[in-house]
């Protein structure tokens, strides 16, 4: 009965599914339907708070894919964007992987296609391809080693210094890796995430000046990661208070942070888990408009529909999955992969 009433409210529009709020009644219906399907619900750190709260596990993309692979349930409901659900499918090929709205894409993953990469590789036939996890399964299948923001430096450092490296798709993460490794033969794809690129150096500088005692957590995909390091170098923001971290690394750092206030430069959904991890700290967004519209397509209505209809199912061609899983496995073996985004 409860499902019928709620189901009748679901509206499907061009921006996604709407019409249902994250009420306690909705949450108990979601949990009941998940049990009925023998499904576990995973939610990325950038999801809406009500989706994070109803999920069985919340984390970054790699941590969630590992949980998916080890889960006893045979259905995974992945509340995140499409490439993340694909990665879960690559690592758990025998499981049913559902995403509440397959239209939830990623501007960073979309910034390079498999054809783009084939053409780039043709220009550098002996190069090693290193791809950040925010890529499609097809791009991962053409990749030698995937990386996360936590182990990108270790992955690039593991490559023979005489070989060219093609690093994709994020130019800011690429610049960060180039700066640390000092590697001249690192070629960087000019891709970016519209959300992270929108967090700029000017905003960061203004925030740093007006909160002189705060610590600063920066995701390396942010357009401001370079500015954060520059500011630290200039002494505007003490270097020991600037932390370049993956989303998973931010949660760990929050638990041990000493300051009363932390400025956070990444997608605003991250604030929900940080506030839960360290309730005594005042977490503030560097840019409170940094919200990913794709992540926010996983609405209460979308999740409910997914559990009622068993849609949208994520499929990856078995040959592509096999090749992609090799590059993902190499990523897991090098350094501390952490969790990427």
- Interacting residue ranges for ligand SF4, rule: CB under 6 A: 81, 106-108, 134, 193, 195-196, 267, 292, 294-295, 341
Residue 309 marked ligand-binding: no
The CB-of-173 to ligand SF4 minimum distance in angstroms stands at 10
Q: CA 55 to CA 43: how far, in whole Å?
A: 6
Whichever of 215 and 341 has its CB closer to ligand SF4, that residue is 341
Residue 44 marked ligand-binding: yes
The CB-of-264 to ligand SF4 minimum distance in angstroms stands at 13
The distance in angstroms from the start CA to the end CA of the chain is 39
SS3 for 295? helix
Whichever of 82 and 178 has its CB closer to ligand SF4, that residue is 82
Whichever of 105 and 238 has its CB closer to ligand SF4, that residue is 105
The CB-of-167 to ligand SF4 minimum distance in angstroms stands at 16
Output the CA torsion sign for 220, 224, 229, 230: positive
Whichever of 196 and 272 has its CB closer to ligand SF4, that residue is 196
CA distances (Å), 148 to each of 125, 133, 208, in order?
24, 6, 27
Q: Quick check: 27 and 4 in contact, CB under 8 A?
A: no
The CB-of-296 to ligand SF4 minimum distance in angstroms stands at 9
Residue 147 marked ligand-binding: no
Query: Cα-atom radius of gyration of the chain, to the nearest Å?
Result: 20
The CB-of-250 to ligand SF4 minimum distance in angstroms stands at 14
Residue 159 marked ligand-binding: no
Residue 272 marked ligand-binding: no
Q: Quick check: 154 and 146 in contact, CB under 8 A?
A: no
Q: CA 92 to CA 84: how far, in whole Å?
A: 12
Whichever of 17 and 172 has its CB closer to ligand SF4, that residue is 172
Q: Which residues pair with 16 in a beta bridge?
A: 13
Residue 70 marked ligand-binding: no
The CB-of-81 to ligand SF4 minimum distance in angstroms stands at 4
9 half-sphere exposure, CB direction, 13 A CA radius:
14
Kind plus residue range of the DSSP H or E element containing 130: strand 128-132
Q: CA 291 to CA 120: how far, in whole Å?
A: 31
The CB-of-316 to ligand SF4 minimum distance in angstroms stands at 18
Residue 149 marked ligand-binding: yes
Whichever of 190 and 209 has its CB closer to ligand SF4, that residue is 190
Residue 106 marked ligand-binding: yes
> Of 87, 73, 96, 194, which Cα lies nearest the Cα of 137?
87
Residue 4 marked ligand-binding: no
Q: CA 195 to CA 209: how far, in whole Å?
A: 23
Whichever of 48 and 295 has its CB closer to ligand SF4, that residue is 295
Assign 3-class secondary structure to 141-172.
HCCCEEECCCCHHHHHHCCCCCCCEEEECEHH
Q: CA 83 to CA 15: how far, in whole Å?
A: 19
Which residues are part of a known binding site? 44, 61, 106, 132-134, 149, 193, 219-221, 247, 292
Which residues are part of a known binding site for [4Fe-4S] cluster? 106, 193, 292
Which residues are part of a known binding site for iminosuccinate? 44, 61, 132-134, 149, 219-221, 247
């Amino acid at each position: 009965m409860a499902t019928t009433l709620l189901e009748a409210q679901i509206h499907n529009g061009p921006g996604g599914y709407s019409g249902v709020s994250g009420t306690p009644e909705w949450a108990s219906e979601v949990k009941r339907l998940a049990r009925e399907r023998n499904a576990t619900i995973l939610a990325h750190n950038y999801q809406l708070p009500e989706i994070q709260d109803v999920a069985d596990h919340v984390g970054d993309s790699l941590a969630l894919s590992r949980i998916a692979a080890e889960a006893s349930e045979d259905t995974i409901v992945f509340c995140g964007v499409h490439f993340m659900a694909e990665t879960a499918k690559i690592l758990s090929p025998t499981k049913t992987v559902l995403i509440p709205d397959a239209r939830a894409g990623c501007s960073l993953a979309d910034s390079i296609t498999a054809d783009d990469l084939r053409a780039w590789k043709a220009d550098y036939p002996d190069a090693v391809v290193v791809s950040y996890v925010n890529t499609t399964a097809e791009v991962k299948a053409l990749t030698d080693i995937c990386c996360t923001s936590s182990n990108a430096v270790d992955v690039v450092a593991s490559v023979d210094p005489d070989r060219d490296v093609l690093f994709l798709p994020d130019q800011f993460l690429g610049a960060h890796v180039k700066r640390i490794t000092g590697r001249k033969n690192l070629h960087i794809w000019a891709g970016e995430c519209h959300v992270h690129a929108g967090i700029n150096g000017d905003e960061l500088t203004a925030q740093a000046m007006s909160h002189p005692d705060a610590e600063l957590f920066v995701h390396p995909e942010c357009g401001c990661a370079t500015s954060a390091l520059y500011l630290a170098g200039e002494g505007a923001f003490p270097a020991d208070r600037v932390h370049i971290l993956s989303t998973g690394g931010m949660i760990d750092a929050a638990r041990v942070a000493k300051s009363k206030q932390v400025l956070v430069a990444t997608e605003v959904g991250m604030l929900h888990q940080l506030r839960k991890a360290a309730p005594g700290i005042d977490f503030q967004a560097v840019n409170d408009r940094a919200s990913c519209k794709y992540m926010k397509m996983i609405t209460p209505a979308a999740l409910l529909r997914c559990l009622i209809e068993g849609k949208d199912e994520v499929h990856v061609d078995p040959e592509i999955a096999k090749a992609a899983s090799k590059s993902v496995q190499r990523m897991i073996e090098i350094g501390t992969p952490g969790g990427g985004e």
